[in-house]
């Protein structure tokens, strides 16, 4: 099965039946040609093999024995968002390190959830109620500690709300990874990667018309005005009347550049 088709099928499932580690590897396969998803899943099985089920044992395995750590020297490296590279290098960003932590925890029967706090992804250990910062070797935080971390990142006057610590599902985690990849690619004028990331995001069942329109912007930035206009016309067909008018106008403008 082609990797994009596999991604779309995975994301269309009931969220309870979307395996996060599989979805993350399928995502990464779009950036690393030849990635064997099943072999990588087996590798995660091996990493968790023999690990105890207590939180202390899971943290010890992931951060001390296996040596996963935050990539402080190359935070915006694309490979930090590709789970295969994170495993190979033992380096990642909060969201991918959290996926490693949750994947090992799940394999030993530990219930963990992703927490999409703005600016810094965390993991919740459900049994203990502890929030874990995988970017900081699994540092345990309570709600106040999470708030302090948020304020350090966003400024002391940034508005905080407890809802920022709500667990997010697999699709939300994958969307956040794709957002990261799209932003990095745009900043580096990496048109291919930007197109790949925005295309995958547009395939999410709950993708907004604006997320779908971002794919057109990626094509436009690459100079592919034909595909950009086709995307905008497709988005316009599903958009409310007022927004549709704007999308069609933009599509016509791009088509004019082809003449």
The pLDDT tens digits of the residues spanning 18-46 come to 999 999 999 999 999 999 999 999 999 99
Separation between Cα atoms, residue 234 and residue 247, nearest integer Å: 9
Task: Using DSSP, state whether 208 is helix, strand or coil.
Answer: coil
Q: What is the CATH number of domain 172-256?
A: 1.25.40
Per-residue confidence (pLDDT) for residue 1, from 0 to 100: 63
Dihedral angle, C-alpha 60, 63, 66, 72, nearest 10 °: -170
Q: CA-to-CA distance for 178 and 23, rounded, in angstroms?
A: 12
How far is it, in rounded angstroms, from Cα 60 to Cα 99? 16
The residue whose two tokens read 């910062």 is 133
Residue 259 pLDDT: 73
pLDDT at 135: 98
Average pLDDT, the chain: 97
- Sorted by where each begins, the domain ranges of the chain are 3-168, 172-256
Cα 233 from Cα 218, distance rounded (Å): 15
In the numeric block, which tokens belong to residue 252? Answer: 């016509």
pLDDT tens, N- to C-terminus, the chain (259 residues): 699 999 999 999 999 999 999 999 999 999 999 999 999 999 999 999 999 999 999 999 999 999 999 999 999 999 999 999 999 999 999 999 999 999 999 999 999 999 999 999 999 999 999 999 999 999 999 999 999 999 999 999 999 999 999 999 999 999 999 999 999 999 999 999 999 999 999 999 999 999 999 999 999 999 999 999 999 999 999 999 999 999 999 999 999 998 7
Task: Find out whether 253 and 235 touch, Cβ atoms under 8 Å.
Answer: no
Interval 67-113: pLDDT, tens: 999 999 999 999 999 999 999 999 999 999 999 999 999 999 999 99
């Amino acid at each position: 099965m082609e990797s994009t088709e596999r991604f779309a099928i995975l994301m269309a499932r009931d969220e309870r039946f979307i395996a996060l580690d599989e979805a993350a590897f399928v995502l990464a396969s779009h950036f690393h040609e030849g990635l064997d998803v099943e072999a990588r899943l087996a590798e995660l099985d091996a990493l968790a093999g023999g690990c105890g089920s207590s939180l202390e044992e899971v943290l010890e395995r992931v951060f001390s024995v296996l040596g996963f750590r935050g990539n402080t020297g190359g935070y915006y490296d694309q490979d930090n968002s590709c789970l295969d590279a994170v495993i190979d290098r033992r380096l990642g960003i909060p969201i991918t390190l959290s996926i490693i932590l949750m994947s090992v925890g799940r394999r030993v029967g530990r219930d963990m959830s992703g927490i999409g706090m703005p600016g810094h992804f965390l993991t919740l250990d459900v049994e203990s109620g502890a929030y874990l910062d995988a970017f900081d070797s699994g540092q345990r935080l309570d709600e106040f500690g999470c708030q302090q971390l948020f304020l350090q990142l966003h400024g002391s006057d940034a508005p905080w709300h407890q809802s920022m610590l709500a667990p997010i599902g697999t699709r939300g985690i994958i969307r956040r990874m794709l957002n990261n990849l799209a932003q990095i690619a745009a900043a580096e004028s990496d048109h291919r990667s930007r197109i790949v990331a925005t295309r995958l995001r547009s395939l999410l069942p709950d993708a907004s018309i604006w997320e779908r329109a971002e794919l057109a912007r990626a094509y436009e930035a690459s100079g592919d005005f034909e595909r950009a206009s086709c995307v905008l016309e497709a988005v316009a067909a599903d958009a409310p009347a007022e927004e549709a008018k704007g999308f069609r106008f933009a599509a016509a403008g791009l088509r004019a550049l082809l003449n």
